[in-house]
Chain A
Amino acid sequence: MKVKELLLNKNFTLLTKNSDTEIQINDVYICDLLSWVMSHAGNQCAWITVQTHTNIVAVAVLLDMACIIIPEGIGVEESTLKKASEENLPILSTNLSTYEIASIIYESNKNVTK
């Protein structure tokens, strides 16, 4: 599914400006250890993390991620959103848990060939 399709779900809010929401989400990656994410996350994944500091933007941009999703209603620093907006990287916020987020993307992607 595309990031913009995920945003049709009322549980998700786009926090960034100038975001590229046409990008396809191929995969979901869930981890908060940045070195681990760096070596394991795939291209065009939706990355679910509780980290909200500015450095997550560098990780997502370097790996060509589709978007970052911050779960469980956690707030995000303005500096992080500013940096992500400069890179056209979508950061989404939701009250849902990581399991619920991954399930929604899985359900939407399971019948689609990448």
Chain B
Amino acid sequence: MIINIHKTSYEVASRDFIRSGDASKSIKKTLNQMGFASQLVRKVCIATYEAEMNIAIHSHGGEIILIVDDYTIAIQIIDRGPGIANIEQAMKAGYSTATNEMIEMGFGAGMGFYNMQKCANVFKLESKKNEGTKIDMIFYIECNED
């Protein structure tokens, strides 16, 4: 059995709203070049964009890692804190701690985790207050072909 693996990682800075979104755009280009179905790429893009914006808005900065093998596209998120105290509450659609400034920019709808869960086939969130947040999202290549 041959498994081809592609891996790239991207840094995402805290509060850099000029460049936030760039990692998701690069990942989109990579996946398009690999020839994946547009519906699958769209799901990965939506989920990755939400995770990327969460790093920029809510964290001290972090990393997005794209791993593609013959069967799955995986997106891993690791940030440097401050972590989430109440995960259940944070996951609720509509819940947001975004500041007024962020809300005026159109962020803070509280739909980020909802969108990630809707798009990914597997979604795993690990976080602790004063530590970082880790997210694993997996997209199955086969069941997303159009």
Partners in one complex: yes
Which of A37, A38, A39, A55 contacts B17 (CB under 8 A)?
A55
A35 to B110 Cα, complex, angstroms: 8
A34 to B21 Cα, complex, angstroms: 12
8 A Cβ contacts from A23-62 to B: 32-39, 43, 49, 51, 53-59, 61-62
Cβ of B128 < 8 Å from any Cβ of A? no
Interface of B is mostly: helix
A87 to B25 Cα, complex, angstroms: 10
Cβ of A15 < 8 Å from any Cβ of B? no
Residues of B within 8 A of A39 (CB): 46, 111, 115, 118
Cβ of A63 < 8 Å from any Cβ of B? yes
Instruction: Report the interface size class on chain A.
Output: 20 to 34
Interface of A is mostly: helix
Residues of B within 8 A of A18 (CB): none
State whether A38 and B28 are in contact (beta carbons under 8 Å apart), knowing that A51-B106, A54-B17 are contacts in the complex: no
Which A residues fall within an 8 A CB radius of B?
Answer: 32-39, 43, 49, 51, 53-59, 61-64, 79, 83, 87
24 contacts across the A-B interface (CB closer than 8 A): A32-B106, A33-B109, A34-B105, A35-B107, A35-B110, A35-B111, A35-B115, A38-B46, A49-B106, A51-B106, A53-B17, A55-B20, A55-B21, A55-B105, A56-B106, A58-B22, A59-B21, A59-B49, A61-B25, A61-B28, A62-B24, A62-B45, A62-B46, A83-B18
